[in-house]
Structure 1
């Protein structure tokens, strides 16, 4: 699949997946591109922490080994913590072509669910603080409104702390 095809059909493929799985979620199209957390948060009128980023990682020595980390938009992930949570070693950020081939969506619109290949996934525990989060909607024009519980259920994700240690701890009661 070319990047043009992925961009053209990403949100539609995600919509079909959500319907097929009977997921209580919706695709939102605010009317502007949202390839970054700050742009998505501004377009939706929510805090950056309520935007979840879906980050694909691949093995440094074995690029065919791909996994995903899902975290709130206001933190940086610690790749070593992702590796430990998923019992993997030596990970690096996946190349955009790997993300497209394995996950099925172009960087900038990768949703937290509905990937074309089932891969190990870890969800940072901070995501579960929110009743509703917004993730990539299959392209740079759509966002997915979904509960963190649905993300974990649909992906079979491990829940763990994968934030960089230099990040402040989560605030109690944030919703």
Structure 2
């Protein structure tokens, strides 16, 4: 049981777990996962960490569909910063407690400011990593917003 699942159980949030095995891999892990689960690429979201204003330790979370690319300028603005860049993967793993490719917005070791792309609000249910590769969690995006104080903005390209 991952910290994400423990957190959602403790909060009494309705969710569904989905296990998957990748039979092939391309240069887009998230889209491969969506295909393995037979879900829309727009409904499966990836959790990315960015560093703000050139400070590698000033981290924030951006949650976007696997079909999209993060717009760093929009991500910076959504987090009230002048600029954003992708965080160092080793630091992202250390801060969240999850491995890259399995970072969940729920149950992170350190709570960071989070923004989710507003396209999530078009769906009753979305999926994100459940905290490890091979496991996704499906839930209502409003639960993420309510529980973690997540803001929604257009942050995808």
Query: TM above 0.5, one fold?
Result: yes
User: Partner residue of 2:19?
Assistant: 29
Cα distance between partner residues in 2 of 1:40 and 1:109 = 11
Structure with greater proportional strand content: 2
Q: Does 1:41 align with 2:37?
A: no
Shift of 1:60: 5.4
Shift of 1:28: 1.8
- How many positions carry a matched residue from both structures? 154
Question: Given that residues 67 and 120 in structure 1 are in contact (C-alpha distance below 8 angstroms), is that contact kept between their aligned partners in structure 2?
Answer: yes
For the residue of structure 2 that corresponds to 1:22, the secondary structure is coil
1:24-173 alignment runs, 5 A limit: 24-32=14-22, 36-59=29-52, 61-164=54-157
TM-score, scaled to structure 1? 0.81
Cα distance between partner residues in 2 of 1:151 and 1:141 = 21
Cα distance between partner residues in 1 of 2:124 and 2:109 = 26
Cα distance between partner residues in 1 of 2:4 and 2:150 = 18
> Once superposed, what is the RMSD of the aligned Cα atoms?
1.8
Cα deviation, 1:104-147, whole Å, max 9, x if unaligned, reads 21110111222221111111111111111111121111011111
User: Partner residue of 1:17?
Assistant: 7
For the residue of structure 2 that corresponds to 1:76, the secondary structure is coil
Cα distance between partner residues in 2 of 1:79 and 1:53 = 15
Deviating beyond 3 angstroms after TM superposition, the runs of 4 or more aligned structure 1 residues are 31-35
Gaps of 5+ in 2: none
For the residue of structure 1 that corresponds to 2:134, the secondary structure is coil
Question: Given that residues 61 and 113 in structure 2 are in contact (C-alpha distance below 8 angstroms), is that contact kept between their aligned partners in structure 1?
Answer: yes
Gaps of 5+ in 1: 1-10, 165-175
TM-score, scaled to structure 2? 0.89
